[in-house]
Amino acid sequence: MERKKLLAGIALVVGLCFLSVPVFSGGGQEAEKIEIRCYWWGDGEAPGMAAWMKESTELYQQQNPNITVEAPEIPIEDLFTVWKAELAAGTPPDIQLFGRQQGMDGSEAGNIVPVDEYWSEEELAHISPPARRELSWDGHTWLVPLYGGAWLTVLNPKIYREVGLNPDSPPQQWNDFVSALEKLDTGGFTPFSCGFKDGYMGVWWACLVGIQNLDDMSDLHEAVMGIQHFTDPKHSNFWYRIEELINKGLFNEDAASVGFAEGNDKYLNGKVGMVFAVQSMVNGYIKELGEDSVSVMISPTPPNPGKLAGRMPFYTMPLGIAKLSKHPETAADFLRYLHSEERIAAMYKQSGAIQASDKVSLDIMTSADKLMAKWVVEVPNYTYNEHYVPQIESEVWASAQLLSIGDISAAEAAQRYEDAAVKWRREFPEALERFKRIAAEWKKDADKYK
């Protein structure tokens, strides 16, 4: 009798437990309902990314029915304004698109958490070493790439052959590069097209040519800190290379009066020999002109090269996790899903964007992209403009525009660059101290991410 009473009591307790705990049809306990938000800029550089992100959120939600992911597209000009406003309100998105500059100048210190608190070293090791190094500071990897892109020089093989140049052996040294441009000019073509009106082209020259005079990004860090100077030859060389091509008439005639996009779009008329571009732009050229009119090369090596010469810069658009996120583990898991082999392949197929990962498959790529992917592994380089601060970069824009219209010389552009760094150090002493710490760690970890 006592045993029957005991069993009845146990049955009652168990029954009450089942009444109080929701279950799925399969009998498992219902998972907590979770909502996360990811703010980014949509198609921007790579048309097709928005459709890919939409598909990614839908597939992730199908695999995780208790999780809702919102990934609204925020215009690039509003992205950080919205972040700051929601951060101030205590409700930032769980995931935000960032840049390394926000880490270097300290503006986001304390607002994000390191990704390596949620991703294992094995998972992080798939990220391209230069990209990983650029997304790491203060002893942690803070960000992971949404996608990556190569900075290259594009050439038109048809035009090259027409003027007697070999597109399969493009000019890698500066003097040979200039000779090729002169031959294109003599042949009746626009040798090199670009636009300086908005100033962006100045940064492109620093990223593609100027970086090759450095031995390591520590050189640039030291110029920002005042140990080296932006008037030193290794930091000012690219200004003189721009000036040389201006003086020789090797840019498009309206280079000073058109912006970056308009200058580069001239490549599509089939009369331009060469332009600078990033990988997503190259795919756009191929779609318009066909693969036989588009080839790529690592940008020409300037005089007095450093150890970073002959390498291909590869930038990333990285995502970080907000410190105020209520669900950082879920945010990290969604980022992990975006880095799965299936999602990486889908991103390329839908947008042409290449992930900064060794999981990328060459089998589905165009010939130009196969070259770029090969260079990402074999000769990757850093992203110049992720290693200083916005206040200095804005002077590069301004000086490039003034140089293009003849208002200043290359020497004066270099001096303005130096003056901007001096001003930043004077006006932002706390940011300078943080920059010094990160720069010291970068130098110490030179062999860590190889």
Same domain? 225 vs 308:
yes
Same domain, 201 and 59: no
Q: Do the bridges between strand 140-141 and strand 136-137 make them parallel or antiparallel, or are there none, so unpaired?
A: antiparallel
User: What is the model's pLDDT at position 27?
Assistant: 42
Q: Are residues 156 and 141 in the same domain?
A: no
Phi/psi of residue 26, each to 5°? -80, -5
Q: Say how many residues make up the chain.
A: 450
Number of H helices, E strands in the chain: 19, 12
CA angle 297, 413, 262 (to 5 degrees): 50
Contact criterion met (CB below 8 Å) for 52 and 16: no
CA distance 158 to 272: 10
- Share of the chain residues as helix, strand and coil, in percent rounded to the nearest 5: 50, 15, 35
Q: Do 337 and 303 lie in a common domain?
A: no
171 and 269 assigned to the same domain: yes
In a domain, 19, yes or no: no
Closest CA to 213 of 311, 308, 313: 308
Q: How many CB atoms neighbour CB 90 within 10 A?
A: 7
Question: Looking at residue 363, what is its pLDDT?
Answer: 86
The span from the CA of 385 to the CA of 222, in Å, is 14
Residues 85 and 124 in one domain: yes
Torsion, Cα of 149, 151, 157, 162 (10° steps): 160
CATH code, domain carrying 251: 3.40.190.10
272 & 358 share domain: no
Residue 188: C-alpha distances to residues 159, 166, 169, 182, 289 (Å): 10, 17, 21, 10, 20
Q: Name the residue among 425, 420, 450, 418 with its Cα closest to residue 439.
A: 425
Cβ count near 441 (within 10 Å)? 14
**Bridge pairing between strands 295-297 and 312-322:** unpaired
Token pair of 354, please?
């290449």
Shared-domain flag, residues 217 and 278: yes
Q: Residue 438 half-sphere exposure, CB side, CA atoms within 13 Å?
A: 31
DSSP 266-282: GGGGT-EEEEEEEHHHH
Residue 378, domain member (yes or no): no
Residue 410 lies in a domain: yes
DSSP 225-264: HTSS-TTSHHHHHHHHHHHHHHHTT-B-TTTTTS-HHHHH
| 243 inside domain | yes
161 shares its domain with 116: no
Grouping H, G, I as helix, E, B as strand and the rest as coil, residue 391 is helix
pLDDT per residue over 269-306, tens digit each? 999 999 999 887 888 899 899 999 999 999 999 999 99
Domain boundary residue among 304, 334, 364?
Answer: 364
Determine contact, residues 246/164, Cβ cutoff 8 Å. no
CA–CA gap between residue 308 and residue 314 (Å, rounded): 13
Give the CA distances from residue 293 to residues 152, 167, 184, in Å, rounded to whole numbers and listed in that order: 16, 10, 15
Rounded distance, CA 186 to CA 413, Å?
30
Contact between residue 152 and residue 372 where contact means Cβ atoms under 8 Å apart: yes
Cβ neighbours of residue 70 closer than 8 Å, sequence gap 6 or more: 35, 36, 37, 38, 57
Q: Report yes or no on 29 lying in a domain.
A: no
Counting as low any pLDDT under 70, the low residues of the chain are: 1-30, 99-107, 109, 445-450
Give me the domain span that covers residue 273: 150-312+384-434
Query: DSSP states of 154-168 as a string?
Result: EE-HHHHHHTT--TT
Q: 379 lies in a domain?
A: no
**Greatest extent of the chain over all pairs of C-alpha atoms, in Å:** 109
**Residue whose structure tokens are 């992917």:** 373
Q: What total of structural domains would you count in the chain? A: 2
Asked whether residue 290 falls in the same domain as residue 396, the answer is: yes
Verify that 46 and 133 share a domain, yes or no: yes
**Phi and psi based region of residue 358 (left: phi greater than 0; alpha: psi -120 to 50; beta: remaining):** alpha
128, part of any domain: yes
- Is the same domain home to 426 and 410? yes
What is the pTM assigned to this prediction?
Answer: 0.80
**Residue 389 has what pLDDT?**
86
**What does DSSP say about strands 272-278 and 295-297: parallel, antiparallel, or unpaired?**
unpaired
DSSP states of 301-315 as a string? BPSS--TTTT-EEEE
Residues 290, 143 contacting (CB under 8 angstroms)? no
Establish if 447 belongs to a structural domain. Answer: no
